Amino acid sequence: MTTARPQGLALAETLVGLALGLGVMLLAWQAWAGLRWTLQSLRAATAWEQNARPLAALWQQLSDQAGSGALQTAWGQDARLSAYLGPITGTDGAGTQGDSFTLSQERAGFPADCQGNQLTGPVALSNQFKLSSKQELTCKDTQRSGSLFQALAERVEDLQVLYVQRSGTLADPRWQWRSASQVTDWSRVQGAEVCLRLASPLKIFQGSDSLTGCQGETVARDGRYRKVWRGFWRLPHATP
């Protein structure tokens, strides 16, 4: 009598198959997780660019006009410039809080304020920028009665400003980097560097590495996409 050979897989073969299956699943999960992190990082970087680019364009435009005067004419009189407006002023934030700064100009040169409002009213514009308690970069025209701060960008964690003040004489000019509290003559500030620290609104998978912030501090990794952005603008209408 011939005994039939048992059919099916042995225990060892079953375990090997399970191990291979788990390995394939693990590789697939890692690939999916990597793709998900890449997509989230790309979205965060895109959102960061969408926040930073309009601000850079706005500050370039306002700094070009800051301190400019309007040409005033009257019948039978010589043409003259209106009273000089200091192009920029600023305030240091308390402790590690964000700074604030204001760019001023004649409304006749560029009638729109930082919010895009083109309204008649005071002859001067003073666009003030500061952080809100909700980590929003806000601005308003402080010369216009009833104006309110409006958010220009979200998830702005820090705003720091340094100013280039000219000193010395025309024959021996000197320039120094100064904070707002160190500036002695705002009319002689020739330029300003603005530093922003922006973060993604949501945490992304795997997070992002720690980085050095605007004040030289180390920002710990917490899963958000962060980047520090700096921009420098010259003030062409400052007192030479």
Going from N- to C-terminal start, the domains of the chain cover 41-67+82-234
Partnered with residue 127 across adjacent β-strands are 103, 141
For the chain (240 residues), the mean pLDDT of every run of 10, in chain order, is 57 68 71 63 71 86 79 49 72 92 82 81 84 94 90 93 89 90 93 92 66 90 85 86
Q: Comparing C-alpha atoms, which of 198, 230, 234 is closest to residue 56?
A: 230
204 Cβ partners below 8 Å, 6+ apart?
37, 40, 41, 44, 223, 224, 225
> ∠ at Cα 143 (159, 150), nearest 5°?
45
What is the structure's pLDDT at 35?
Answer: 63
- Please give the pLDDT value at position 80: 45
Q: What is the pLDDT of residue 130?
A: 97
* pTM of the shown model: 0.76
The pLDDT score that the predictor gives to residue 233 is: 92
C-alpha torsion sign, points 149, 53, 56, 101: positive
For residue 13, what pLDDT is reported?
65
Torsion of CA 192, 104, 171, 179, to 10 degrees: -40
Q: What is the pLDDT, as a whole number, of residue 10? A: 67
